Amino acid sequence: MPRIVLAALFLASLHSATAQKASPPMSASPSYSVVGKQVQVYTTAANTQLRLAATDKLTFQAQGQPLETQPTVFVDPNHSFQTMIGIGGALTDAAAETFAKLPKAQQQELLQAYYSPTQGIGYTLARTSIHSNDFSSAPYTYVADGDKELKTFSLQHDEQYRLPFIKQVQTAAGGKLTMYVSPWSPPAWMKDTKNMLQGGQLLPEYRQSWANYFVKFIQAYEKAGVPIWGLTVQNEPMAKQTWESCLFTAEQERDFVKGYLGPTLQKAGMGTKKLIGWDHNRDLMYQRATTLFDDPEASKYYWGLGYHWYETWTGSGMQFDNLRRVHETYPNKHLIFTEGCIEKFQFSNINDWKLGEQYGHSMINDFNAGTEAWTDWNILLDETGGPNHVGNFCYAPLIGDTKTGKLLYTNIYYYIGHFSKFIRPGAKRIATAASRDVLQTTAFQNPDGSVAVVVMNQTEKEQPFHLWIKGQAAQTSSRPHSIMTLLVK
């Protein structure tokens, strides 16, 4: 054999041995089987009385290769992805004030409806604001004007409605609630516009005071008995709103975190708090991610990126591909949906079925793109879609009619419940795919081993299908305009 060939063979074998030594093969995933398991189906459907109702029990039978003419939802628990942190909603001033106006019986009904994992839909996640936002009765802060040292810092405002409300929510959630916080604007005197509303920017000379304000707030809430899991840097930093708002370009946010907020949190012993960037719509999130995460000095402080769904105001659809781009580019960062609601409230429209369908469509696609936590906006609003001090009235899953004392359920509540009730913290998303586009689907395996498969149908037609897992299939059907959770255990 020629020397050149021998040399080439030697180098090839050396390279192969080195590669194997550097990258040992991954062990195979434990095999999952549905043999002997049953499927409990829960359904919410338009033009029926079904609301998170236990409808069918299915059994699996052996089935080989499905045909193209057999509509199928494929689920593969042997391939898993992100871990669920939680699903929940925002505990705003508006929610707290509306709650306080309801009769005691309806207050307890709401707490159970949201936070009981058995009698309700099992919320485990919450967001609240650092002082006021539009869903407050009026703008306010926690310090006196011009108090750069924050010596006058006080939670007195929140002690009337919001903190007592949060305490009751904590109790209803079994003492465990993953809570994060967000500012809508610094105090007016810290901004170039001297106005908390209508955008404006943080003045450079107040960057340290504003970073200290975050720490003061977290310390005060935790002293009041409300543990804080994380925080976002700025709610909607690219929107000049008629309500509390403040503009940060990607570079300004990066530099504020790198030079002030990140080090200040670390110095205060809060380095383990989850710091979340962006907190705005999907449209610009990739550019924001590259600016924040490609800078090593800034990136080290960021846990991940938060996002909203309001990019539709431009006429765009929901841009789920932008989530995927961020997730595949920065797989070690985390994605959290921090806010979504349907705007332009009309009391006469609270039974519109499209309300819940928007939620289901978003949640399925957000989870499939790598999202680990999902937060609705206000958990409760009154019969006006408020209170809101600038008239930005919106829908919530539950409407508290303060005139009649009744608690009204929109189908948003049930659509969210198809996820939050059956996909628990610690669940891992598993591979799923449908052979028909009318069957929107995602799936998770819970810590107890149960598998929750969500299937949504936004069309006017019923769609029969098979749930197919590792050569076993169970036959069922998706009703028109419905969402179903198939719980395998």
Which of 127, 125, 117 lies closest to 176 in space, CA to CA? 125
Number of structural domains, the chain? Answer: 2
Judge whether 153 and 143 are in contact, CB under 8 Å.
yes
468 shares a domain with 390: no
Report H helices in 398-437: 411-420
For residue 27, tell me if it sits in a domain: no
- Token reading at 110: 């709401």
440 shares a domain with 419: no
- pLDDT above 50 for 27: no
Judge whether 466 and 58 are in contact, CB under 8 Å.
no
Residues forming the active site: 236, 339
Report the Cα–Cα distance between both ends of the chain, in Å, rounded: 62
Judge whether 449 and 489 are in contact, CB under 8 Å.
yes
160 shares a domain with 71: no
Mean of pLDDT values over 451-477: 98
pLDDT tens readout for residues 400-441: 999 999 999 999 999 999 999 999 999 999 999 999 999 999
484 shares a domain with 396: no
For residue 3, tell me if it sits in a domain: no
Residue 116: CATH number of its domain:
3.20.20.80
For residue 15, tell me if it sits in a domain: no
- The domain boundary, picked from 404, 425, 446, lies at 425
195 shares a domain with 59: no
Strand segments, DSSP code E, in 296-439 are 304-308, 334-339, 373-378, 380-382, 398-401, 406-409, 428-434
Phi-psi label, residue 63: left if phi above 0, alpha if psi -120 to 50, beta otherwise: beta
Mean of pLDDT values over 52-80: 97
295 shares a domain with 247: yes
447 shares a domain with 369: no
Token look-up 């490609």 returns 294
Tell me what pLDDT residue 31 has.
87
Radius of gyration of the chain (CA): 25
Mean of pLDDT values over 243-257: 98
For residue 22, tell me if it sits in a domain: no
Token look-up 């069918």 returns 56
123 shares a domain with 58: no
288 shares a domain with 213: yes
354 shares a domain with 271: yes
The CB density around residue 159, as the number of other CB atoms within 10 Å, is 11
**Which residues have CB under 8 Å from 413's CB, separation 6+?**
113, 121, 356, 397, 398
- The domain boundary, picked from 392, 425, 458, lies at 425
21: pLDDT confidence band, cut at 50, 70 and 90? very low
182 shares a domain with 73: no
Q: Structural domain of residue 156, as residue ranges?
A: 86-425
Task: Please state the pTM of the whole predicted model.
Answer: 0.94
222: pLDDT confidence band, cut at 50, 70 and 90? very high
Mean pLDDT over all residues of the chain? Answer: 94
For residue 231, tell me if it sits in a domain: yes
For residue 28, tell me if it sits in a domain: no
- pLDDT above 90 for 18: no
Q: How many separate helices (H) and strands (E) can be counted in the chain?
A: 12, 21
Judge whether 453 and 110 are in contact, CB under 8 Å.
no
Mean of pLDDT values over 197-203: 98
**Which residues have CB under 8 Å from 37's CB, separation 6+?**
60, 488, 489
For residue 259, tell me if it sits in a domain: yes
9: pLDDT confidence band, cut at 50, 70 and 90? very low
- The domain boundary, picked from 425, 442, 460, lies at 425
For residue 319, tell me if it sits in a domain: yes
Which of 469, 453, 472 lies closest to 41 in space, CA to CA? 453
466 shares a domain with 417: no
**Which residues have CB under 8 Å from 369's CB, separation 6+?**
320, 321, 323, 324, 327, 335
Mean of pLDDT values over 336-360: 98
Residue 474: CATH number of its domain:
2.60.40.1180
